[in-house]
Structure 1
């Protein structure tokens, strides 16, 4: 065979192989864009709050595996960066996943992302925080009610002093829609039950920022200028408690949320008064059930009994999980009973005596 004919044969063979490979890619199981894709994307917003890495991700992953043994989770954490989360979302869309579970860093930024996914027939489930855009489902807690529980916890802690109570509020991150609902719910109670909210600032879900805000409040109001502190979550409550201790302010009720291990330990020690326990397993399990059904093309109507509105869309099929106030008196009957933490985790070291005093063994 002469040189020209040999080159032509090689080129023809390469072309045929490329066509064959392309055809295999389109039809092959599990490849990008294939109909039998078994991967669920999971995007969580940050790791500063311990719940996401310790509970949400492993619980969702375990439940998905229980329901669909050959399904996979493609998990990413955005570390509070909107641009990072957008890239993660875009990567999942490009990879051809059929379902994305999204807990947004900034819910207002997601409208175009979710629309893009819908245009490609990708289902998006908002998890814990309500994203914008044409969602297929939303699973969370009743976050305004959680705010009311927090407000009621502050009022209960103040007792007879509530009607003359002056409260400092350290709220969550402004871009988090849940933070606005917590704040709204708390105000609906506090504005009626206490004398006044005397200082209010965002703590950005950051213990350091919350601590500085508390320090500013102490400087502005004086050590005797407030009677209780509302902190939107336990992470920030840690910063609040540190600021109070640094200023040698004692006897001030401090409330939080999320039932973090450190928060439970502070409650036992007496430096934090209460937290809000949101049972992550029911929330995670429900989300996994919804995601797997959507992946299989099954109806999710029986799992979602409510319809909620976002700023961009109305009538989103939703499920809301119940939350509870936890103080020193019911730690054993809530977070320990539900196996959120083992007694050995809570009661180690300096907390052993506090546990014994509370009847936790």
Structure 2
């Protein structure tokens, strides 16, 4: 009898335990299979990292703001850093952006060679890289978007040779570390070469400008004036900021406005010098076009969409898919129909300096 009671108790406890084990929790009972939310991957908007070289020049401040506005208009977010000419810092900043979980990296390289390391690090994390206006050399770069910088140099040389077809020329380039400076110089000498070969033009001074700074460009011009005994007929300068330094050096010896000087970027100060007569021309590159194009392509690539380009640029390692926009020469005659008509600068701002004289 006792054995039968023990057996009965055993089966009764087994039944209770089985019932408890098979009863689903209340929260699972309330959710039917078809109502469960599927995993959708990363939440939130697309995040673009923007690693810039510097904000020291007017044009890069414009790029920063225009690119930010363009990205945000597409519903994405952008995180912006600047290294101010420090290669190690630019690499470190890019690494931080990469590790923060950005979807794509856009970079304005200070040093076109050193930043190849950034492209490699980004690719290890599955992040694509777009070079903004300046090419990254010797890397598996995903996309390069800029203006046609070789054409920029050609426009500068065409404008100056039209004014001074014969004489002593000074060439003051940009930073040797910037691939754009090399492309610009190539464009300049595409035009000058026949003049040089005929003996019509002599290059009496040719120098790069470290970090694109006006103070270094001024020092270069002072050296050119000294070594040539001021026998200079024209100066081709890489951009408007460096042209400012060059014109300061010319002004110190009474030659400002007497010697034609080129520029690039259509900075306000450069355009003001054009209407004042101390700078001959600049090259206008509508930055809103550049920032909008890169923002559109960056967001598309971050979403995994394919981007097809008609042009490619060799960066020493691969033929990089490229988008090259068209620049425009600006002088005293067309300043109002270009930079002012586009709203790049206002009429009042451009003529403010001359109206005070």
1:78 to 83, 86, 97: 83
Cα deviations by residue, 1:270-299 (Å, 9 ceiling, x for unpaired): 000001111111111110001110122222
TM-score, normalization by structure 1 = 0.83
Shift of 1:35: 6.8
Residue 268 (structure 1) aligned with residue 272 (structure 2): no
Q: Distance in 2 between matches of 1:230 and 1:179?
A: 12
Q: Distance in 1 between matches of 2:40 and 2:159?
A: 53
Q: 2:247–2:278: 8 Å Cα contact kept in structure 1?
A: yes
Residue 154 (structure 1) aligned with residue 160 (structure 2): yes
Cα deviations by residue, 1:143-167 (Å, 9 ceiling, x for unpaired): 1111111111111222xxx1x3210
The answer for unaligned runs of 5 or more in structure 2 is: 1-37
**Which aligned pairs between 1:1-361 and structure 2 lie closer than 5 A?**
34=42, 38-53=46-61, 55-68=62-75, 71-132=76-137, 133-158=139-164, 162=165, 164-193=166-195, 194-204=200-210, 205-223=212-230, 225-250=231-256, 251-301=258-308, 304-314=309-319, 316-348=320-352, 350-352=353-355
**Counterpart of 1:148 in 2: which secondary structure?**
helix
| More moved, 176-185 vs 193-202 | 193-202
Q: Distance in 2 between matches of 1:78 and 1:311?
A: 24
**Counterpart of 2:126 in 1: which secondary structure?**
coil
TM-score, normalization by structure 2 = 0.84
Q: Distance in 1 between matches of 2:162 and 2:288?
A: 28
Shift of 1:242: 0.6
Ranges of 4+ aligned residues in structure 1 off by more than 6 Å:
27-30
Q: Distance in 2 between matches of 1:353 and 1:92?
A: 47
1:16 alignment partner in structure 2: none
Cα deviations by residue, 1:110-153 (Å, 9 ceiling, x for unpaired): 22221121121101011100113222211001111111111111
Q: Distance in 2 between matches of 1:265 and 1:221?
A: 29
Shift of 1:42: 0.6
Distance change in 2, residues 1:36/1:148 (3 Å): same
Superposed CA RMSD in Å reads 1.8
2:9 alignment partner in structure 1: none
- Mark the structure with the bigger radius of gyration: 2
